[in-house]
Chain A
């Protein structure tokens, strides 16, 4: 059987189509979800895609947090429902307090678009089980506000609990603390990632096909449930 994975469209989402395509390529059924409805349409996991929800007004992800669909996602996520937030989706997860910390302006102030090498450091989350420990992957990074910031206490907690799932390698793109590219919650069902795995699923258009593993990982995890 195949699993239904929701992809939320907010006003200003850009990468919802690519995220849905990645879900389908991985063997799942992509289900479009709309910000203004609280209906999760019986999906078994959800992807919050990249883009500029609500024009990134106020702060990135700050207004999306109050969308009706987010109420349903927050409630479900508290019960172990898998959620992947990519780029703007990561910002929404932080603003929703599903993940700690915040994403701020890149330290060099430039919007950055590059193929970025990452090291996968936690292969126990719902979205990363298909990777090998410390596997290096290459996927696109494109954002203006990707600098992961948090206080020392939070940073120590993330590091000591192994909740840094991916770290930038060879290049510091944005001044993130400890070169953090992605983190998870304690339970490992919620993952936020700044770079874009959904843009690296086919050799024709991506720098690699490494990104697909995030989507196949969650499908395998759902089978095991």
Chain B
């Protein structure tokens, strides 16, 4: 069944102390690949059947009003099979 995915990230200019904490923990475990880390949120939304354009438009609206705070965050809506 297809899922609608909403990914929410802090805007690049907003300080992300959680991502920074993860970035500084990685080398302590021997992982040295990360130049920086930013942490976000992922919402997986199930609908019956394949998402319709109308549903996607509604999700878009929900992403803008509830799932993200446009003052500090950006979002992306996608469909995952």
Contacts and interface: CB of A to CB of B under 8 A. Distances in A.
Interface of A: 58-59, 62-63, 66, 94-95, 100-102, 104-109, 147, 149-151, 175
A132 B66 CA distance: 39
B55 interface: no
5 contacts: A63-B66, A147-B15, A149-B14, A151-B13, A175-B17
A150 B72 CA distance: 7
A104 B59 CA distance: 24
Given A109-B18, A150-B71, A58 B66 contact: yes
A225 to B, nearest CB: 32
Contact of B14 (A62, A104, A106): A104
Interface residues of B, number: 12
Contacts of A150: 71
Interface of B: 10, 13-15, 17-18, 21, 66-67, 69, 71-72
Interface residues of A, dominant DSSP? loop
A147 B72 CA distance: 12
Q: Which of A95, A102, A109, A175 has the most CB of B within 10 A?
A: A102
Contacts of B66: 58, 62-63, 66
A105 B66 CA distance: 19
Contacts of B18: 105, 109
Contacts of A105: 17-18
A84 B79 CA distance: 42
A149 B21 contact: no
B17 A102 contact: no
B15 A104 contact: yes
